[in-house]
Amino acid sequence: MVKITTRLTQALVAAYDRVYAKNEDRTISVNPLVAELASWYERFRTAMDYNADEVILRSAIERILKRRLILGGNGQNVAAPLIRELVWARYFPDSSIPESVIVQVAQTIDLHLSLEKKINDKHRINKGLVNEWILQLLSAEIEKILKPNDPKDLMSNFIFQIFRKRISIVDDTDQIRDIQTFIAVRRAYASDDLAFLRYHLFTQYFDKLTRENFEEIVDGFPQAVKKIKEQFEYMAKDKIYTYVKNQIAPFLILDGVFRKNRGHVSRLVDDEERLNMEILSACLEKYKAIRGKVGRAIIRSVIFIFFTKAVFALFIEGTYERLIYGQVIWSSIAINVLTPALLMIIVGLLIKTPSRENSFKIQKRIHTILFDEDPALETPLVVKKKPGRTDPWLWTVFLALWLATFGLSFGAIVFVLSKLSVNPFSQAVFIFFLAIVSFVSYRINRTAHMYTIRDRKDDLASILFDFFFMPFIQVGSRLTLAISQINIILFVFDFIIETPFKGIFAFFEQWLFFLRAQREKLD
């Protein structure tokens, strides 16, 4: 038997063992046939955003809010259909959300809409930026209402307390160190997107929005936005994030073990043999799930690339070829269409699950995390707010080498395509696809290794990878971000297709309820 000695672990175990009273109010129920149709549509639609699984719900809430508020909606007429759509799409099981939550969500929507109006009246800020912030804050707050007491928050706070002691910023304050550590943990463990990060920092800056602090938030909104933006642009943020990310695997497994044994965690951690069995079992379960998760990611990636990028690019390519060459050159288009799918398949085939040795490493890390006052993790990180100055001549050499990397990588592709008689415009489309696919593949590879404890030493393979493929990944990242901002196809789906589509769902569901009521009269 191992005895818990650290107060931090005792608090974590107590939090996971806490039993919350079940809400006995009437719940929201939907028709199963409508839910089946809506869930299929939602899977297709979310694939076009290519968000991490952890932020899909918040993203869906924001998307529904945009669609329903754009025509002047308010809390009273948006809250109920919003929650109903989420149950349709099976973000929540049927009859799992109490009807009383509708009032709370409606009040939250109205409060945030009032905040937006008051900020726009009082400050000269870009209204588009204010609307973006309000929608992100509101969607995150609604998710918190619908998913209270999320264990993800418990583990995030635990991880933060561990790493804040192991990270130092020698030329900045402890407060900034804590903020940067918090951001790194939320990104690495919870996979928070920009909206969630803004929400967490905003609520720490002001606390949760209420009628009591409403005027304070209105007055301080511009300053808060500025300070939060500064934290996202902090020079040392990437080093801190990488340091945390490389050590997050044991915490992911630990959370899975604690969730499975919720309510009995204290007995579990007192039984060393059972704890070890649960850890190894959880590792094996997660490793098996990797293949399925990677497969889903590849399917979503193909949908994401084709429907949000390929259709637009290929339409332009076909038009260009008709104008310049008098016909569509289908061989070039075939190369540009088939290459992304082929690369995705290759990525899937190359994915390897972690070894049993990795499981024993995780087991050892979990023991030191739970039972040691100073867990034996990686060497503490010491960084500077501003990196040391590099010799100008050396910096010039590095820059020249980096540009040469881009030239070699992209030049090699252009050379091969030229030998295949692909015209210059089709070459540009091919490189466009290749850059995006490289970035998406990189993200999938990171997903596949999320439970792997990695050796931080650079080997020849990693150096060659960085040299030849990093340019494509960086360009793909920038292209994906830039084009997602102006995606016409998503606008068409959200405001032209989805609105009547969900209207048909609602009508169909009411019709089925009506038929059931008529049938019940005959019983």
| Position 171 in a domain | yes
Q: Determine the pLDDT at residue 437.
A: 78
Is residue 24 in some structural domain? yes
Asked if residue 277 is part of any domain, the answer here is no
The answer to whether residue 54 is domain-embedded is yes
Q: With respect to residue 376, please indicate whether it lies within any of the assigned structural domains.
A: no
User: Is 322 inside a domain boundary?
Assistant: no
The confidence score (pLDDT) of residue 169 equals 92
**The pLDDT of residue 206:** 93
Question: Do 201 and 179 meet the contact criterion of CB atoms below 8 Å apart?
Answer: yes
CB 41 within 8 A of CB 290: no
d(CA 364, CA 366): 5
Taking the alpha carbons of 223, 228, 232, 237 in that order, is the dihedral positive or negative? Answer: positive
User: In the prediction, which pLDDT does 501 show?
Assistant: 63
Alpha-carbon gap, residue 454 to 358, rounded angstroms = 9
Q: What pTM, to 2 d.p., does this model score?
A: 0.82
Bridge partners (DSSP) of residue 169 are 383
Count of H helices and E strands in the chain?
Answer: 22, 2
Asked, for residue 468, whether it belongs to a domain, the answer is no
Torsion angles phi and psi, residue 27, rounded to 5: -115, 165
Report phi then psi at 236, rounded to 5: -95, 5
Q: What pLDDT is attached to residue 109?
A: 96
Q: For 370-373, which contacts have Cβ atoms below 8 Å and span 24 or more sequence positions? A: 370/4, 370/6, 370/9, 370/254, 370/269, 371/2, 371/4, 371/5, 371/6, 371/9, 372/6, 373/5, 373/6
Whole-number pLDDT of residue 251 = 95
Nearest alpha carbon to residue 302 among 267, 346, 258, 269: 346
The pLDDT, as a whole number, for residue 377 is: 87
pLDDT number for residue 472 = 73
In a domain, 375, yes or no: no
Distance in angstroms (rounded) separating the CA atoms of residues 115 and 220: 12
User: 42: domain range?
Assistant: 17-158+166-242
Number of domains the chain contains: 1
DSSP collapsed to 3 states, 38-92: HHHHHHHHHHCCCCCHHHHHHHHHHHHHHHHHCCCCCHHHHHHHHHHHHHHCCCC
pLDDT in tens, the chain (523 residues): 555 567 888 888 888 888 666 666 788 887 777 777 777 777 777 766 666 778 889 999 998 999 888 878 899 999 998 999 899 888 898 888 888 899 999 999 999 999 999 999 999 889 999 999 999 999 999 999 999 888 889 899 999 999 999 999 998 999 999 999 999 999 999 999 999 999 999 999 999 999 999 999 999 999 999 999 999 999 999 999 999 999 999 999 999 999 999 888 889 988 889 999 999 999 999 888 887 777 777 777 777 666 655 665 567 777 777 777 777 777 776 777 677 767 777 777 777 778 889 999 999 999 999 998 888 888 899 998 876 666 677 778 777 877 777 788 788 888 888 887 777 777 777 787 778 777 877 877 777 788 888 765 555 566 666 666 777 777 777 776 666 555 555 666 666 666 666 666 666 666 666 666 666 565 5
Residue 223 is which amino acid?
Q
Among residues 122, 125, 118, 142, the alpha carbon closest in space to that of 208 is found at: 142
